[in-house]
Each structure stands twice: as structure tokens, then as C-alpha cells.
Amino acid sequence: MALKPSPAGDTALRTLSYAQAAALAVQREMEADTHVVVLGEDVGRGGIFGQYQGLQQRFGAQRVIDTPISEAAIMGAGVGMALAGLRPVVEMRVVDFALCGLDELVNQAAKNRFMFGGQGRVPLVARLPIGIWDSSAAQHSQSLEAWFAHLPGLTVVCPSTAQDNHSLLRAALQCGDPVVYMEHKTLWGQPGEVDESLAVPLGRAAVRREGGDLTLVSWSRQALVCEEACAQLARQGIHAGLIDLRTLWPWDRETVLGACARSGRLLVVHEAVQAAGFGAEIAASAAEATGCRVRRLGAPRIPVGYAPVLEAQSRVSADQIVATAREMLA
């Protein structure tokens, strides 16, 4: 589907934070389509990360709606709005809190179009930030993207850069079906160049680095850690390619499987717990299609600790990625 262009003449690169890029994306879509609304806790003051900064002042409290503290009510209202013809952005603050609103998302939004023969559509974007939030412990640091990728009817997006957070959020708002949009909690202040005119379609990965010795696949903040690992490997004479999935469902099979066929080795890296993580789907698909050698790296199956020394046990470091890559090439 073609994406709506940015306003004429407003295509210059600018440096924005990950949060500012998202706020600008929502602003542009609200300007282009009066059916786009925002609802959630603290959105009127800009959101707890600044991802809605200035929007209520620009569009008013009837389009940027502060809600009570009830995730089930927020998500349920968003589903109802979508079925009535609006395009709501449903703010859940963090994915950990969104678990209180799962029935509305899983059993209503995801299934409505199928169960009612296409008579209803749910063009809803649920923003569910994921990832380890520094010193925030087990109930605020989960990466649950595999849960949503498992569910028919949902598109799942995990942007890693300011540019992708702008372009993919606009694509999600134009999608016409429910999108689970999962930004990383520690990327909000990450700066990057943003070109408003750059359209990034859902379902297309980004090749961050070319390399024929090994293929790395990752997403969200862990893709940035993989970039660091690739740089270390390059200094050791190992040329690793890096693919940032960006969209987990639908994921870009053509790009990933083509790279795996060329390199013969695949290492999938994610911040989520390794057991039953989405990396297993990619690894199995690549092995079945290309016969390549596969490995996975993810967090151990433990709650994220509060103390820094415990929190570190749940992180996948660049050094771990480098060591595993070297093992695969031995």
C-alpha cells in the first residue's frame, strides 16, 4: 500500500530523538486525517517519554484524550472507536501494563475482521513499549513481542532507529488493520536523522550491514548491539551481515532467507527470553529453506533483576554475540 506523502517542501533531514520522531509521525497523520485520535494515560502532557509532546495543545482534548488508569477500558474504547470509523492510537505506556487489556486486543481487535466476514475493520495502533528499562525490575522490563507475533490478525512492528520510528508509525496508522507497535523503553532519547519523505512499508527488513561470512538477524534495541558486534568482528577480519527485521509480522522472509543462503550461517539475536522467542521461528524457517547452520542468542528464562549486577544477566552483550559468531565460524 502506498504511503501518504509528507507536506510539500518539508523533506529536509533533521536530527530528532526516537520520541520526537514518533510525535512528529502522529502529528502528520492527525493533520492528514481527522479520524486519527490518541487515547491513554498522560498523553495530554506529552506522554511519559515525550512521544506525544505538544499534540493536545495542537489538536485539543477531544482528539488527544486523557483516560483513567484502566488498560482494559483504554484498549476496549480504542477497539470501539476503530469499529466506529476512527483510527485510534492506543497508548499503553509499557507492554507490561498492557497485559491488563489483552482480551480486548487478542479476542476483539485481532479477530473482528475474520469473524464478521470483513464487515468490520479495526484500524488501531496499540503502542506497547518493550525491553529492559534501566533499574526498573521484572514488572517493567519485559520483551513480549513473540506473544503478539503468534496471534493471527495482528501486525507487529519493532523499530530500532528514529527514522524507522517515524516512517513505520505512519505506515502503521495507514494500515487499516490492528498493529501492535513496540518501541524500546530505553531508545526514546536516541537521536537520529529523520527524512519525513521516506516511506518505509510494513513487512520489509533493513540490511544494516553486508557480509558473507555470517548473517545476523535482530530487531529493536538489540539490532544496535549487533551493529557494535559487527564492528568488532570486522576488526578481526570477519565480515558479518546484519538484518534489522523492523516488522516481526509479517517478517521479510525473502531478505533473510536470501542472506542465509549466501552466507550459510545464521545467528538470531534478541533481548527477549530465548525460550520460545521469535528468533526460533526465524531460525527454523531458515534451516528448513536453506539448510544453513543456525544459532540463537536471547535472555535466560529469568525475571529481570533490579540490581545492576542482576539486570546485566538478562542482557545480551556485543561480546557474547562476537563469541558466538566466532564459534560458528570455527
Say which CATH topology domain 16-194 has: Rossmann fold (3.40.50)
The answer, yes or no, to whether residue 185 has pLDDT greater than 50, is yes
Catalytically annotated residue among 35, 140, 150, 270? 140
Beta strand 36-40 pairing with 64-66? parallel
Topology agreement, domain 16-194 and domain 206-329: yes
Neighbours of 2 (CB within 10 A): 7
Compute the distance between CA of residue 272 and CA of residue 288 in angstroms, rounded to an integer: 23
Cis amide prior to 88 (ω within 30 degrees): no
pLDDT exceeds cutoff 80 at 320:
yes
Query: Domain residue spans in the chain?
Result: 16-194, 206-329
- Residue 77: what are its φ and ψ, rounded to 5°? -65, -40
Amino acid at site 150: H
Q: Are 163 and 192 in contact (CB under 8 A)?
A: yes
Q: Is the pLDDT of residue 1 over 60?
A: no
Structure confidence at residue 12 as a pLDDT band (50, 70, 90): confident
Instruction: Compute CA distances 89 → 25, 120, 212, whole Å.
Output: 12, 18, 41
pLDDT of residue 4: 46
Strands 179-181 and 87-91: unpaired
* Tens digit of each residue's pLDDT (9 = 90 or more) over 151-171: 999 999 999 999 999 999 999
Q: Which three cell numbers stand for residue 59?
A: 489538536
Assign 239 a pLDDT band (cuts: 50, 70, 90).
very high
Share of the chain above pLDDT 90, in %: 95
**Catalytic annotation present for 140:** yes
CATH no. for 206-329: 3.40.50.920
**242-285 pLDDT, tens per residue?**
999 999 999 999 999 999 999 999 999 999 999 999 999 999 99
* pLDDT tens sequence across 207-228: 999 999 999 999 999 999 999 9
Mean pLDDT (the chain) is 95
> CA 180 to CA 233: how far, in whole Å?
34
Cα gap 128→90, rounded to integer Å: 9
Q: How confident is the model at residue 8, as a pLDDT?
A: 45
Supply the pLDDT for residue 121. 94
**Secondary structure of the chain in HEC code, one letter for each residue:** CCCCCCCCCCCCCEEEEHHHHHHHHHHHHHHHCCCEEEEECCHHHCCCCCCCCCHHHHHCCCCEEECCCCHHHHHHHHHHHHHCCCEEEEECCCHHHHHHHHHHHHHHHCCHHHHCCCCCCCCCEEECCECCCCCCCCCCCCCCHHHHHCCCCCEEECCCCHHHHHHHHHHHHCCCCCEEECCECCCCCCEEEECCCCCCCCCCCEEEEEEECEEEEECHHHHHHHHHHHHHHHHCCCCEEEEECCEEECCCHHHHHHHHHHHCEEEEEEEEECCCCHHHHHHHHHHHHHCCEEEEEEECCCCCCCCHHHHHHHCCCHHHHHHHHHHHHC
